[in-house]
């Protein structure tokens, strides 16, 4: 049967339209597929850029690897058992805390109460590595301590900021071993500054930073950082029963305490005669930390090398100096007789010098010994650690009173010839420089009467010197 021409033409047009529609649909689906492919984003790429990578995220990433988790073990006697036994039972109590790496060789700062009376200290780094630690220096008065781990790699160090320019309301971050949850980060603001806090009759703090960032048991000794990822404080305490009230030691106070602990720990007994101070000044739109020479003792190795007050120390050997404890870190492995290269800046010009470290026994500049005699009425002679180790193994040495003015302050305070002076206020005394450091301290007036610690007849004894104005 033959179709009429008209129907044939209509059928052809219909088939042609269906083909075009099919091709259009195919092209549309293809275009949509290509658009879908172009919009598909790698989830990993999304986390590397964009709004999710806030300043807080960057700050945590910058500092997290310089934070360590501390697990401790201490042994306590059972009070009930002591009543009925000559050999009371002992219980092991586990503790936790946080530490901040300040030296790539494994030097860590934490709170003193974290390591007080502990038998075992175990450190866990951010990469999961664990190591045993030992306490190398303590400052109970500031509630800070230094611990050390032995590592076979260079560790990341916490970037330092300052608390001098803190703003109430600015964002801060606490990182720590909160309730044993390692490297926990919490966000908050600076709630107040310069808070004086008394937790109990034995523990009080001055000029703390208050924050509402969550600080829990285990956070003690960990960092409080700003949004730039710089350390501004060491978390120390919470207010029991309160919410959002935590406290941190300002980083500037921590720097001072660590520097003093390291200076007292110079095992080699060497001496260079430099007194330094930390200085913070505005450079551009940010504050810059500087290490400034306050004094070069006359006749000392530092004076012979040409140092003057006001010089800015830049580096000791390969160690760049940001704060005063960097200077002490650079001298940790040195010994008497070493010629130490020092880079410094004077009137904007960078210069270099070498300081040859002297032994303590040869480090008694006239200005130092005369200064001690003039102020206290005593002449001091250094004695080494073995002479005091039988009394206290932690002592690094002392100063024997070789002569005494019967009318001087020391004699009037009960000191005698032959006493070994091992401490003034909170500082050990292993050289005349240590004594003069205390006597020239800008806060000396607040130390009055000045506590002293001596060894007499094989025992450590305590007294106080009533200073005159």
Angle at the Cα of 280 from the Cα atoms of 351 and 194, rounded to 5 degrees: 160
φ, ψ for residue 367, nearest 5 deg: -60, -35
Q: How far is CA 413 from CA 73, 133, 405, 449, in A?
A: 42, 41, 12, 10
Q: Which residues pair with 345 in a beta bridge?
A: 312, 350
Whether 286 is catalytic: no
Half-sphere exposure of 399 (CA within 13 A, CB side): 28
Catalytic, out of 143, 230, 252, 419? 143
Tell me whether residue 382 is exposed, middle or buried, using C-beta atoms within 10 angstroms of its C-beta: 0 to 12, 13 to 18, 19 or more: buried
What's the CA gap between 445 and 210, in Å, rounded? 28
What's the CA gap between 327 and 330, in Å, rounded? 5
Q: How many CB atoms lie within 10 A of CB 34?
A: 10
Contact 462, 452 (CB under 8 A): yes
- Give the relative orientation of helices 366-376 and 432-439 as an angle to the nearest 10 degrees: 50
- Indicate if the alpha-carbon torsion angle 168, 171, 175, 179 is positive or negative: positive
What's the CA gap between 259 and 273, in Å, rounded? 15
In the block, residue with structure tokens 């960032």: 213
Whether 150 is catalytic: no
What's the CA gap between 293 and 94, in Å, rounded? 44
Q: How many CB atoms lie within 10 A of CB 160?
A: 18
Q: How many Å separate Cα 202 from the centre of its chain?
A: 23
What's the CA gap between 204 and 237, in Å, rounded? 10
Whether 143 is catalytic: yes
For residue 403 the two structure tokens come to 């002569």
Angle at the Cα of 432 from the Cα atoms of 429 and 433, rounded to 5 degrees: 90
Catalytic, out of 72, 139, 191, 220? 220
What's the CA gap between 190 and 195, in Å, rounded? 12
What's the CA gap between 360 and 383, in Å, rounded? 9
Mention every residue, 6+ apart, whose C-beta is less than 8 A from residue 148. Answer: 106, 107, 108, 133, 134, 136
What's the CA gap between 324 and 279, in Å, rounded? 9
Catalytic, out of 113, 183, 259, 326? 113
- Give the closest residue to 160 by CA, choosing from 293, 313, 278, 264: 278
Residues annotated as part of the active site:
113, 143, 220
């Amino acid at each position: 049967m033959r179709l009429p021409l008209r129907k044939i033409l209509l059928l052809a047009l219909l088939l042609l339209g269906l083909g075009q529609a099919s091709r259009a649909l195919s092209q549309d689906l293809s275009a949509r597929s290509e658009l879908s492919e172009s919009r598909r984003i790698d989830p990993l790429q999304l986390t590397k850029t964009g709004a999710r990578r806030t300043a807080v995220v960057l700050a945590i990433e910058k500092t997290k690897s310089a934070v360590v988790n501390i697990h401790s073990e201490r042994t306590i006697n059972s009070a009930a058992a002591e009543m009925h036994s000559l050999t009371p039972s002992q219980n092991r109590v586990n503790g936790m805390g946080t530490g901040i790496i300040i030296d790539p060789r494994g030097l860590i700062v934490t709170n003193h109460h974290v390591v007080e009376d502990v038998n075992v200290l175990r450190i866990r780094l951010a990469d999961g590595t664990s190591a045993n630690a030992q306490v190398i220096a303590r400052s109970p008065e500031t509630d800070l301590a230094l611990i050390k781990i032995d590592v076979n790699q260079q560790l990341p160090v916490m970037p330092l900021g300052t608390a001098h320019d803190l703003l109430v309301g600015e964002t801060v971050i606490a990182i720590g071993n909160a309730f044993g949850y390692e490297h926990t980060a919490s966000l908050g603001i600076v709630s107040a500054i310069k808070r004086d806090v008394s937790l109990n009759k034995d523990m009080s703090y001055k000029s703390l930073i208050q924050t509402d960032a969550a600080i829990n048991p285990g956070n003690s000794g960990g960092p409080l950082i700003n949004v730039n990822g710089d350390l501004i404080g060491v978390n120390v305490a919470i207010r029991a029963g309160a919410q959002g009230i935590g406290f941190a030691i300002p980083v500037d106070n921590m720097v001072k305490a660590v520097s003093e602990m390291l200076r007292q720990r110079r095992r080699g007994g060497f001496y260079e005669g430099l007194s330094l101070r930390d200085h913070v000044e505005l450079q551009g739109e940010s504050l810059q930390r500087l290490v400034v020479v306050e004094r070069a003792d006359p006749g000392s190795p530092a004076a012979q090398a040409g140092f003057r007050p006001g010089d800015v120390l830049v580096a000791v050997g390969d160690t760049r100096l940001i704060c005063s404890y960097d200077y002490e870190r650079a001298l940790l492995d040195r010994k008497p007789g070493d010629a130490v290269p020092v880079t410094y800046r004077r009137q904007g010009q960078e210069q270099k010098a070498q300081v040859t470290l002297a032994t303590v026994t040869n480090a008694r500049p006239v200005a130092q010994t005369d200064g001690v005699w003039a102020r206290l009425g005593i002449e001091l002679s250094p004695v080494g650690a073995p002479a005091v180790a039988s009394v206290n193994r932690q002592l690094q040495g002392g100063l024997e009173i070789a002569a005494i003015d019967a009318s001087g302050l020391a004699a009037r305070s009960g000191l005698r010839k032959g006493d070994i002076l091992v401490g003034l206020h909170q500082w050990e005394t292993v050289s005349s420089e240590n004594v003069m450091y205390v006597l020239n301290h800008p806060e000396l007036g607040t130390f009055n009467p000045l506590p002293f610690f001596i060894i007499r007849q094989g025992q450590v004894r305590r007294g106080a010197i009533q200073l005159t104005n």
